[in-house]
């Protein structure tokens, strides 16, 4: 029985990896508030209804499925993850946590089992930040930490977030009304593929997350002066590209040489203007993603990075500008909920493995609302954010059984 639930969860993720749920048949991309996102919501809402939930779209554009408790005023346990994807991503990142939540509810509904709490399965819309330059917008709305409403955000097509909401049938001014209140929420549980090689290297299907790393995401603008590549001598150049390259290289070397476990820095996007092979770059815009186990370490390395930028730009007579796009504090998972996950895994006679998450998740935002727990599922070959991302049916089934037992244990610990 459990094997069938686990297989269906994985198969549904694969089904959502193709049109009309993806922008292309050549790759998976599902952007927040896009038509593909809406089509995916329709499919997932149908599966939620079949499992015994009522559904609605909240003011932030999240899909919410509710499995009612025993009484009308019961508190809420939230199970969730994200429905959006990165471009050319994998079909299990985020989506598997939603599908497992649906299967858990289907199991309890078939058993006619209700709890002294309602269970809300939330398919968050914007964990990745793949459309607008701000990630986790929708979980911030739910957690009540969206203190100021970002204005003027636009996607790569020039569509504003206000217009995207309007096209989707929502009013962006109401996004904060998606908020839950801490006095009504007893916990948040998120199941997610590990996105790394630890569990596979140790032959384990599951892991319990202890905490999620702190993050900064910058956009750096380097401004120089355009010039002819053949007539401008090297010592007179104000080459924005050369400056950016030196910054990226020296920043990477500094992090490597510091040898601080869990501190990583990445540049994944770069745009050059005017972008001609025979013209010195006038402007370069590039991303920097900095992560560390603690806020203190993140801040320390961010300060060093800024000093590197200033030193190189001064040396090369370049102007620069920092734009912070992403500022997420480190998040620790709740000890009591981790203990329940440990008991649930032991119930399956599986080894218990604790590990930290270098990747960000909606759980780090929901920690501002309620106690959180995360369950990692083995990622074969440690691959994620790639079409090669996959899972094993038996690991998904083990995660399902763990979540079921976790909820049963939670009934005795509210």
- Asked if pLDDT for residue 139 goes beyond 90, the answer is yes
Give tens-digit pLDDT for 9-66. Answer: 999 999 999 999 999 999 999 999 999 999 999 999 999 999 999 999 999 999 999 9
What digits encode the pLDDT tens for the residues 287-313?
999 999 889 999 999 999 999 999 999
For residue 184, the model assigns a pLDDT of 95
Q: Is 329's pLDDT higher than 90?
A: no
Whether 140 contacts 124, CB under 8 Å: no
pLDDT at 326 over 80: no
Architecture, CATH, for domain 214-328: 2-Layer Sandwich (3.30)
DSSP classification of residue 192:
E
Tokens at 137, concatenated: 């917008």
The pLDDT tens digits of the residues spanning 148-184 come to 888 888 998 999 999 999 999 999 999 999 999 999 9
CA nearest neighbour of 399 among 190, 189, 206, 131: 206
82 labeled part of a ligand binding site: yes
CA 217 to chain centre: 13
User: What confidence score (pLDDT) does residue 328 get?
Assistant: 81
pLDDT-based confidence at 70, cuts 50/70/90? Answer: very high
Contact 44, 83 (CB under 8 A): yes
147 is in an annotated binding site: no
**What's the token pair of residue 249?**
């290289």
Integer Cα distance of 79 and 53 in angstroms: 13
**Annotated binding residue 110:** no
- Is residue 320 a known part of a binding site? no
Q: How far is CA 69 from CA 90, 109, 120, 412, in A?
A: 34, 11, 10, 15
**Residue 334 annotated as binding?**
no
Average pLDDT over residues 88-99: 96
Is 42 among the annotated ligand-binding positions? no
Residue 217 marked ligand-binding: yes
Percent of the chain exceeding pLDDT 70 equals: 100
Superfamily of domain 2-213+330-411: Zn peptidases (3.40.630.10)
> Would you state the structure tokens that stand for residue 355, as one six-digit string?
């590990």
pLDDT interval class at 351 (50, 70, 90):
very high
pLDDT tens per residue, range 360-374? 899 999 999 999 999
Residue with tokens 């020296």: 250
397 CB burial (10 A radius; 0-12, 13-18, 19+): buried
Tell me the sheet residues that pair with 81.
123
Q: Are 389 and 92 in contact (CB under 8 A)?
A: yes
Q: Are 180 and 144 in contact (CB under 8 A)?
A: yes
- Does the annotation place 56 within a ligand binding site? no
Cα torsion through 241, 245, 248, 250, rounded to 10: -130
Token match 């993603």: residue? 289
For residues 54 and 66, the answer to whether their CB atoms sit within 8 Å is yes
How far apart CA 83 and CA 105 sit, in angstroms, is: 18
Structure-token match 């078939």, residue found: 110
Q: Are 281 and 239 in contact (CB under 8 A)?
A: yes
The number of C-alpha atoms within 13 Å of 150 and in the hemisphere containing its C-beta is 19
Average pLDDT in the chain: 94
Indicate if the pLDDT at residue 234 is higher than 90.
yes
CA separation for the pair 290, 360 (Å, rounded): 12
Task: State the number of CA atoms in the 13 A half-sphere of 258 facing the CB.
Answer: 19
Domain layout of the chain by residue ranges: 2-213+330-411, 214-328
């Amino acid at each position: 029985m459990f094997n069938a639930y686990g297989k269906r969860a994985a198969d549904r993720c694969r089904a959502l990896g193709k049109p009309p749920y993806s922008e292309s048949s050549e790759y998976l991309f599902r952007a927040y508030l896009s038509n593909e996102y809406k089509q995916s919501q329709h499919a997932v809402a149908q599966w939620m209804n079949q499992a015994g939930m009522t559904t609605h779209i909240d003011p932030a554009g999240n899909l919410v499925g509710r499995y009612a408790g025993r009484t009308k005023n019961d508190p809420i346990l939230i199970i969730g993850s994200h429905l959006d994807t990165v471009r050319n991503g994998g079909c299990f990142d985020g989506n598997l946590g939603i599908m497992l939540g649906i299967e858990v509810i289907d199991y309890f509904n078939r058993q006619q089992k209700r709890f002294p709490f309602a269970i809300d399965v939330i398919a968050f819309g914007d964990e990745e930040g793949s459309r607008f330059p701000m990630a986790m917008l929708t979980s911030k709305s739910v957690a009540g930490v969206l203190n100021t409403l970002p204005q003027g955000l636009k996607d790569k097509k020039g569509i504003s977030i206000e217009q995207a909401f309007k096209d989707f049938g929502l009013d962006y001014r109401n996004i904060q009304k998606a908020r839950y209140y801490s006095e009504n929420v007893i916990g948040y549980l998120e199941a997610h593929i590990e996105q790394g090689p630890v569990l596979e290297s140790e032959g384990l299907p599951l892991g319990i997350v202890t905490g999620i790393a702190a993050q900064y995401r910058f956009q750096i603008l380097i401004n120089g002066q355009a010039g002819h590549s053949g007539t401008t001598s090297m010592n007179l150049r104000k080459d924005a590209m050369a400056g950016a390259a030196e910054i990226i290289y020296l920043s990477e070397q500094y992090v490597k040489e510091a040898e601080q476990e869990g501190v990583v820095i990445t540049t994944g996007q770069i745009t050059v203007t005017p972008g001609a092979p025979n013209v010195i770059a006038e402007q370069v815009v590039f991303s920097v993603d900095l992560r560390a186990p603690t806020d203190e370490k993140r801040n320390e390395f961010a300060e060093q990075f800024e000093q590197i930028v200033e030193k190189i730009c001064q040396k090369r007579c370049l102007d620069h500008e920092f734009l912070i796009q992403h500022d997420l504090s480190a998040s620790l998972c709740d000890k009591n909920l981790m203990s329940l996950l440990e008991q649930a895994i032991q119930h399956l006679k599986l080894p218990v493995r604790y590990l930290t998450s270098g990747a960000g998740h909606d759980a780090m935002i929901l920690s501002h609302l309620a106690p959180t727990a995360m369950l990692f599922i083995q990622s074969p070959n440690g691959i994620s954010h790639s079409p090669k991302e996959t899972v094993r049916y038996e690991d998904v089934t083990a995660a399902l059984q763990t979540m079921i037992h976790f909820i049963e244990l939670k009934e005795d610990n509210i």
